[in-house]
Structure 1
């Protein structure tokens, strides 16, 4: 039976379906693009900023440790190998620090963080000047036995290490905290976008599916045709797009969250622990240079306790913890020798390269920490690339799919509207 309102209702159905399809297109395309951009920010800006700041803190700690080694051995001919090694490492860390500072200038956001980087550059110049004066005063003074510094050189060295511990390291820590805070904000923003993406696509995609099914039911009842192939195919496409977008967003979110928890956070913690270990090892040398000042023994004890706790939390196999405890025993041996007046023997333990000597055991410990940190960093990089690959092409996929849906809907209702002409 002919009903004049049928073409009008059919056109309204069609217009509503197309409007919802366009809304789904806008929401899915925009939100997927935003998720992809936020992944890029995490992998290309926030995570590198945090990693660079952690590396800077480590390099500064080792820089002062190498200065302590250089002034500890002095001009002793039999320890010239240790002197050259310390000098070479000092130069390497200096280049590393300069590169980290330049990289930080390009990755930090905000004037406050940039001001920290500029402050670090200024204080680093001051620190290097005190180091140069220390080495100059030591070389110009009458020869001293290893472990003893001329008064002028000791004064300059004290100024240098004070600049490092009271200015450089606190500023580097602020920069590190700023990098980690930015990383937290980037992850939080991505999580919010993911929630909006999944929610919007589920609501709009689900609504579009309901409309398509309802339209087919209405057409079946009104025109006695049980299947409309074009609308059926459009329904399948919408279902596939809705499920695909939700699965991709959830999968990459889970992968990047796991990458952060399982790899990036432990990597940053290991980097901090490595920096702390170099500073603690330098306390062994500072203890001798200061004439057995109890302050450095107390500092070492506090840092060692923190390292033991961190190593116990992060070291699955116990290798890092065991090796640090080995160095801790070396430190106590140095303290005992120095306490009994055997400073030269204590210096030999600090600089020795045989198993059971401090330099060897610390290198053995550092190799384990470095390997663990490298593995964690590689795991994060792999997971990040996997997450980026999951999103490849998805911001564009809704366009052809929903364009096809709109064409299929128009094709599906065209034959029915033709019956009223």
Structure 2
């Protein structure tokens, strides 16, 4: 009995002293097997212990003497003021860069590429008209005018290409598209020149080009439609995608930035108020002019910064959603319309491919004003019905396409009336086109050519001119609004604003130090 008791006592003492060399078997004392948590002097004098002791010291009331408290609150106030300035710089600087990308680079490049599409389409329309009028002396004046317009559009396309090449310097896909147009445009112009030469040599009557001239024009037109126009459209689409992406990013950034700026401003105000309260309680001073001025200045900066973020967001919506979306839709609509106008002339000069050109004309019409399931025979009737419905209720837009998108995005004074003129001119143009096809089907080719190329009121080219002018008027309304919104943002976020913000921040920091310094000097 004595031996057993002694053994148990020794074992207990060893366990208490930590003298057991190995882990205790699982279940022997109710504790899990395995290494024990560290214990001993390390916890009592190691880093963790010193950290805990430091935290307890800092957390005690006795530690926070008046100079320590004032210095800490001063440091917090200065850090909060600098943080407010950094947050405002990041938010407003990012907004400025995003607006610059949208308004001064991507959006102008997209509209310029759409303008290139328009110039190329009208070049081909004029080339088709040259074959259409032939050597008929009744169309001598029209022939000269057509040649002049062709040269004008060719120069315009060259200018657009040069600008597009410069703008696409940092965009490999855009560069490839521009290079394709540059490389193929010369081939297209050579084929058109050959077609004109062969037509002049053949002295063919109106609407009956020589087979050789028609073949050369077909090659030119096929090259344009299969390569040049798709490449120009690719440049437009790439820049549109950039505008949409940057716009989405900026809208999110401005929304988040508003709250970051609000939080940074509240923190700065809270730190300044805390500092003033500490001075009031510890020094029994009722008023500190310097700190009161900093607090007021910080509040003004916060309100101004939040207002600038809100204004920038509003201007961004105006410039992109309200104005740019309409500008690009109408620019593309105008470009497609000129290709549609060329399809009329192609239809008249190339009867063996008349069905192809009729289908192309319908597709271009559908791009401008779209009806599901419409055919060339039903399109005019459905358009008339839709226009009547829209005139009865301006908020009803019973069609899609580029013009449908514009009429669903009316925002600015004068825009509704301008867009209505586009719709009316388009409807009348479609009606004249239908009459032209009826004349052609009845074998009255010259009458159909006269109706198609005529510049008198009631004739196709006159009405097409009205359509183009109405489109341009509507573009101008939106472009003016877009420019005004961008100018307002540029004015809000220019270098003067940044410089003024830096001066205000420096003044706030200096006034904070100035307001606290006399109190701290009392302890020297």
Global fold match (TM > 0.5): yes
Cα deviation for residue 18 of structure 1 reads 1.3
Candidates 190, 203, 207, aligned match of 1:129 = 190
The Cα shift of 1:118 comes to: 0.4
| Alignment equivalent of 2:471, drawn from 333, 355, 369 | 369
Residue 132 of structure 2 contacts residue 206 of structure 2 at CA under 8 Å; is this kept in 1? Answer: yes
Q: Give 1:193 deviation, angstroms.
A: 4.0
Would you tell me which structure has more helix in proportion to its own residues?
1
Segment drifting more, 121-130 vs 290-299 = 290-299
CA drift at 1:171: 0.8
- CA–CA distance in structure 2, aligned partners of residues 3 and 326 of structure 1: 88
- Is 1:383 aligned to residue 383 of structure 2? no
Structure 2: unaligned runs, 5 residues or longer: 1-61, 370-399, 408-415
How far apart are the structure 2 equivalents of 1:179 and 1:35?
Answer: 19
Residues 17-56 of structure 1, C-alpha deviations (whole Å, 9 max, x = no match): 1122222223323443333233223222112111111111
Q: Distance in 1 between matches of 2:146 and 2:275?
A: 79
Contact 1:252 1:387 in 2 (8 A): yes
- Quick check: 2:106–2:242 contact (8 Å CA) kept in 1? yes
Query: Deviation digits for residues 156-202 of structure 1, max 9, x if unmatched?
Result: 11111101111111111111101111222332343344345423322
Counterpart for residue 507 of structure 2: 404
TM-score scaled to structure 1, two decimals? 0.95
Spell out the pairing of 1:204-219 with structure 2 (5 A cutoff): 204-219=264-279
Structure 1 equivalent of residue 250 of structure 2: 190
Q: 2: CA distance between counterparts of 1:146 and 1:254?
A: 56
Residue number among 105, 127, 138 corresponding to 2:199 in the alignment: 138
What does residue 334 of structure 1 align with? 436
Q: Residues 3 and 303 from structure 1, CA distance in 2 versus in 1: closer, same or farther, beyond 3 angstroms? A: closer
Match of 2:212?
A: 152
User: How far 1:229 sits from its partner (Å)?
Assistant: 1.6
Q: Which has the higher contact order (CA 8 A, sep 6+)?
A: 1
What is the distance in 1 between the residues matched to 2:146 and 2:476?
A: 23
How much has 1:4 moved relative to structure 2? 8.1
Could you say if the C-alpha distance between residues 197 and 311 of structure 1 is closer, same or farther in structure 2, counting changes exceeding 3 Å?
Answer: closer
Match of 1:350 among 447, 452, 457: 452
Residue 300 in structure 1 maps to residue 361 in structure 2 = yes
2:403 is matched with which residue?
311
Listed one character per residue, the Cα deviations across residues 188-245 of structure 1 (whole Å, up to 9, x for unaligned) are: 3433443454233222221010011111122212222222221111101111111111
The yes-or-no answer on 1:36 pairing with 2:96 is yes
> Among residues 122, 133, 142, which one is paired with 1:82 in the alignment?
142
Say if 1:7 and 1:417, in contact at 8 Å, map to a contact too.
yes
Aligned partner (choices 305, 317, 320) of residue 245 of structure 1:
305
Distance 2:207 2:188 in 1: 21
Map Cα deviations across residues 94-116 of structure 1 (whole Å, 9 max, x no partner): 11111111001111222221111
Alpha-carbon distance change, 289 to 169 in structure 1, aligned in 2, over 3 angstroms: same
Which residue of structure 1 lines up, in the alignment, with residue 262 of structure 2? 202
Q: What is the deviation of 1:155?
A: 0.7
CA distance 1:325–1:4, shift in 2 (3 Å): closer
Computing the radius of gyration from Cα coordinates, the structure with the larger value is 2
What root-mean-square deviation, in Å, do the aligned CA atoms of Structure 1 and Structure 2 show? 1.8
Structure 1: stretches of 5+ with no match in the other structure: none
Q: Provide the rounded CA distance (Å) in 2 between the counterparts of 1:129 and 1:16.
A: 74
Q: Residues 198 and 212 of structure 2 are in contact (CA less than 8 Å); yes or no, is this contact kept in structure 1?
A: yes
Provide the secondary structure at the position in 2 that maps to 1:394. Answer: helix
Per the alignment, in what secondary structure is the counterpart of residue 356 of structure 1?
A: coil
Aligned length: 419
Instruction: Measure, in 2, the Cα distance between the counterparts of 1:402 and 1:390.
Output: 18
Output the CA distance in 2 between the equivalents of 1:80 and 1:312.
Answer: 39
Determine helix, strand or coil for the equivalent of 1:397. helix
Give the distance between the partners of 2:481 and 2:126, measured in 1 at CA: 31
Which whole-Å CA distance do the structure 2 matches of 1:337 and 1:144 have between them?
21
Contact 2:452 2:461 in 1 (8 A): yes
Tell me, in whole angstroms, the C-alpha distance in 1 between the residues paired with 2:316 and 2:361.
37
Equivalent position of 2:38 in the other structure: none
Is 185-194 or 274-283 further displaced after alignment?
185-194
Tell whether the 8 Å contact from 1:30 to 1:395 is kept in structure 2 after alignment. no
Change (3 A) 1:363 1:157: same
